[in-house]
Structure 1
């Protein structure tokens, strides 16, 4: 911008100088004998030269302001203002420039505030957000997405880099966690533009994933939003389950009570029967009463989950709770040839727990492990079995792990076993793990059930500290 202005000023100055030199030469040739006229002509030429120079400067002064305005824009100094020169024409031009700078400054502040708000919103949202550049490589990953997918150094790479195995996952993840992340990345990468669908990871957790786009400098860029629906769907299932059980309990309990009363009345007729018939009659009535009582107990087991009281938290040593549970199961494990192992960690401080609820939940977990080993031994009597419990202090959390050699999870998602009425055991009612889920959820615990290797299942529970 500066070079053209200087060239224009030079050309105008050269033109003015050449013109007046030509006129001075003409005066020298035409007026050599008239000194007064010659001097007057020369004086007039000097005055014309000065006036022309002044007019050139005035005419080129707006270019100087334009140059300064350009420099302010280039340096992004939108808060600066140009001083008014005091000339009517230039004042209007400078006022227009200052107005443009003021508008740009306000827009810059608004854009910065919106950008800052958007960045804070993306970091605070529990939904995972991934933004891609024009080549479909990742350009932004918020904290939730980093935690969910565990992609190592994701910026500048497409999602397919983790599907093919070239890119690394978070080093803190084990093989199971990396397989879960890779499967989730594969499902997200296959999502078409505009699609919104439910995706399920290897642990059975459910997510709503949506791929959409926005325009940047006139070109489309894609982004992914992944929302964890597991807790919401579990709450919905829990509410549906509770309503169903209340209806069933009401009808069954009424029927059981009425049936029990009728059966007690029927027993009064025993004395009116022949001795040969009385025995069979009483046996049949007692069998029906026993079945009636079992039906009542069956429905009570379901209602206990629905009517579970709020936990009464007290400082409790988890080590002592595990000691008691293993002692209670020692005899039956010895009778079945199941070895019990316990890696106790005395460094773990007391936790805020409801002892009765946690004991019942852990008893259910150990009971499931024993039954899984029994079922496996029924197919292979030489298999034996082992249950191992480990406690580890992780700083902000405490992890309790229960390993068993039953290995009955199969290929399905383990998380589905925590849903109502779902069980892998013959005759299972799907109550135990649902009860465990409720107890752990009310204690703020997270948990995972997954294969731990060939022929082994692992149940991990993470207890919050403090």
Structure 2
């Protein structure tokens, strides 16, 4: 029963009882009876006034409660001129003003955070209480190759596998495809008293490549300077000695070997110097099918030496891409050379197209997990006498073109070098 109903019931009952008692007590004395009736009437009037003064604030309070329940913070009340009522209205209006300001501030903060998450260059994934994806920003979608509305990360994505293994508060740096480097961080925040996790994916590839290039470029220039300063005079002395002084055959052969070795060392340093001084990319329309065919012709003798078959499984029609033909040809030569050398016995190197992706597959022994993490690292090579120049050159050329690429073993005897021309 509502308070208003209780009040009315109490007042009506009280006055009815009073009227009945007045009738029985003062019925013999009409003057006292009339006086008692007047008091009852006055009491009724006072009760009505009290009702209005007590119930109106309650009505206002209920209207305010309804407005707050509906999250309508624009409802305010006018002052009535009555002290108690005005004090209540003043407190309520102040509370509504503060609530409205707080809601506006929270909405602005929420909008700012949404905008910040959406435009962030860092991939951000916000999980719900059950660990499913509730929100994922565009950068994370791009890195993980997922669409909007996805609830769980695809296990087929190498980066997703590392994310699933992340523990709260943990930060790791991974190189899932041997090319791109990512920093993964998992943390949590409290939402309604319960923890919710979020994951941040920061792509470090560009920064690391730039830092590596700066460092090894400086080292190579210093080495080239010192080697050239040494080799020139030494070669001059050896050549003069060979021409001017009668020497025994063994000594003459030894000096010739030293001279040849110096020439090889000079060529070795020139290769490194060329890596640092790659010319600006000059893009134009290039027929990829023709380019692959030309590369296979160039590498035919080497493939026959290793008994490796080069297979072009690309449609016999022009497929144009925007690239620097000479640089891309050099990159493909290095890729094919590595693929041929990776095949230890009779095998195949196959060229296929998947959309705008060129896939070069070899049947070699594959790449181990430790090797995968070191691929494209300066001076790293899986070959015994390798210099680590080939993949570095490939990386520089493809990065300068803006092409995405990866090198990994996808199955036994199936290693793929994928170039995405966008």
Residue 196 (structure 1) shift: 2.8
Shift of 1:452: 4.0
Which residue of structure 1 aligns with residue 277 of structure 2?
A: 307
- Tell me how far 1:301 sits from its aligned partner: 0.6
Q: Residue 62 in 1 paired to residue 60 in 2?
A: no
Distance 2:82 2:133 in 1: 55
For 1:37-436, what aligned pairs fall within 5 Å after superposition? 38-134=33-129, 138-149=133-144, 155=151, 169=154, 177-178=156-157, 180-181=158-159, 183-188=161-166, 191=167, 193-201=168-176, 203=178, 205-270=180-245, 273=246, 277=247, 279-334=249-304, 336-345=306-315, 350-373=320-343, 376-377=344-345, 384-392=346-354, 394=355, 398-436=356-394
**Are 1:246 and 1:303, in contact at CA under 8 Å, matched by a contact in 2?**
yes
Q: 1:369 to 1:64 in 2, by over 3 A?
A: same
2:415 is the alignment partner of 1:457: yes
CA distance in 2, matches of 1:20, 1:408: 101
CA distance in 2, matches of 1:245, 1:335: 33
Q: Can you give the 5+ residue segments of structure 2 that lack an aligned partner in the other structure?
A: none
Matches of 1:18 and 1:322, distance apart in 2: 104
Secondary structure class of the residue paired with 1:412: helix
Please give the alpha-carbon distance, in whole angstroms, between the structure 2 residues aligned to 1:186 and 1:36: 95
1:347 Cα deviation from its structure 2 partner:
6.4
Query: In structure 2, do the counterparts of structure 1 residues 202 and 304 end up closer, same or farther at CA, with 3 Å as the change threshold?
Result: closer
Task: Indicate if the aligned counterparts of 2:306 and 2:341 stay in contact, CA closer than 8 A.
Answer: no
Query: Aligned-pair distance for 1:444?
Result: 0.4
Change (3 A) 1:348 1:61: farther
Q: Is the 8 A contact 1:13 1:53 kept in 2?
A: no
What whole-Å deviation, never above 9, does each CA across 1:9-51 have from its counterpart, x for those lacking one?
A: 3333333333333443444345445545544542442233122
Whether the 8 Å CA contact 2:379–2:389 is kept in 1: the answer is yes
SS in 2 for 1:388: strand
- Seen in structure 2, the aligned counterparts of structure 1 residues 355 and 195 have a Cα distance that, compared at 3 Å, is same
| 2:177 and 2:408 in contact (8 A); partners too | no
> Once the two structures are superposed, what CA deviation does each residue of 1:240-282 show, in whole Å capped at 9, x if it has no partner?
2111111111111111112122223323423xx3xxx355554
For the residues of structure 2 that align with 1:372 and 1:200, how far apart are their CA atoms? Answer: 22
Question: TM-score, normalising length from structure 1?
Answer: 0.81
Q: When the two structures are superposed, what TM-score results if normalisation uses the length of structure 2?
A: 0.88
Q: Is the 8 A contact 2:403 2:421 kept in 1?
A: yes
Gapped runs of 5+ residues in structure 1?
158-167, 171-176, 378-383
State the distance in 2 between where 1:410 and 1:53 align.
92
Partner of 1:440: 398
Decide which moves more: 108-117 or 280-289. 280-289
For the 8 Å contact 2:73–2:97, the answer to whether it is kept is yes
**Higher relative contact order (Cα pairs below 8 Å, separated by 6+ residues):** 2
Shift of 1:112: 1.8
Count of matched residue positions in the alignment of Structure 1 and Structure 2 = 421
The question of whether the paired residues in 1 share the 8 Å contact of 2:283 and 2:322 is answered with yes
Q: What's the secondary structure of 1:267's corresponding residue?
A: helix
CA change 1:182–1:14 in 2 (3 A) is closer
- What are the Cα deviations for residues 116-172 of structure 1, in whole angstroms up to 9, with x where unaligned? 2222322332333333445555544444444545689764x7xxxxxxxxxx827xx
- Does the 8 Å CA contact 2:124/2:201 hold for their aligned counterparts? yes
> Does the CA-based 8 Å contact 1:253-1:296 persist in structure 2?
yes
Q: What's the CA shift for 1:194? A: 3.3
